[in-house]
Amino acid sequence: MTRIAEKFAALRNENRKAFIPYITAGDPDLETTGQLILELEKSGADILELGVPFSDPMADGPIIQRASERALRNGVKVRDCLNLVRRIRRQSEIPIVLFSYYNPLLSLGNGALGRELRDAGIDGVLVTDLVPEEAEEFIVQMRAVEVDTIFLAAPTSADARIKRVADACSGFIYAVSRTGITGVRQSLSDAASQLVLRVRRFTDLPIAVGFGVSTPEHLAEVWQHADAAVVGSRIVAEIAQHAGDDSLVEKVGALCRQLVITRQR
């Protein structure tokens, strides 16, 4: 079993749901990113999504776009992200999903990509602009090194498309709560719960819901029907708000403890 599968199995045994925060590597800098990962783990994170900064994001809203811009100005590249995970592995076994677009990953060399991710300590990879129909070689390569492949299912997806996504996934399936880009929202769409029900018809894999999840109430709502909730923009906004503050890491940890508070009730 991969670290991701082991984590979900442990959570099921405890009758708990997963909290998956997202942060962008290199925002505000790589050293702080490392500190944030460890703090997020202490503050309730079960799995971590680590974003690779990219100059032309399609699925990211303005908050995460600006985080990528800051990281790119710091010169952060995909190998820097992998080296960061290598350092984290000296202190932590938290499952880490690399969240990226395909172009930065190709700089690692297509044939060596799986080995590079595995050797760095990456547990899963979500390539936003790689669709299952074009991912057969990629999936085979990841399976060979036991790196989970995670794809997106959207509310607009037909059943045949959802089945194809489910067949391409390992680790978990990422269900998008609504169409469009990432970002903080006041309320979640009813489409999210319906999408989870549809996805469950085609797989026994855990289902995570993201895009717009940003309050404790949102997490509680997601956990009613899904196995995991993903929070990205709300955490990235907190990092941006306190950039340069000596207590940045502690404040992000406090936010995450507040987000998961309904899980302790």
Burial category of 145 from C-beta neighbours within 10 Å (exposed 0-12, middle 13-18, buried 19 and up): middle
| Known catalytic membership, residue 159 | no
Residues counted in the chain = 265
Q: Which of 49, 148, 221, 238 is catalytic?
A: 49
Q: Which of 27, 46, 60, 123 is catalytic?
A: 60
Starting at the edge strand found earlier in the chain, the sheet holding 173-176 runs 148-150, 124-127, 96-100, 48-51, 18-24, 228-231, 207-210, 173-176, 152-153
| Known catalytic membership, residue 46 | no
Residue 118 CA, chain-centre distance (Å), reads: 17
Q: Under a CB-based contact definition with an 8 Å cutoff, are residues 219 and 234 in contact?
A: no
Q: Report the Cα–Cα distance between both ends of the chain, in Å, rounded.
A: 30
| Alpha-carbon span 105 to 117, nearest angstrom | 10
Residue 131 CA, chain-centre distance (Å), reads: 17
Q: Name the strand (E) or helix (H) holding 19.
A: strand 18-24
Determine if residue 154 is left, alpha or beta; phi over 0 gives left, psi from -120 to 50 gives alpha, anything else beta: beta
Among all residues, which ones are annotated catalytic?
49, 60
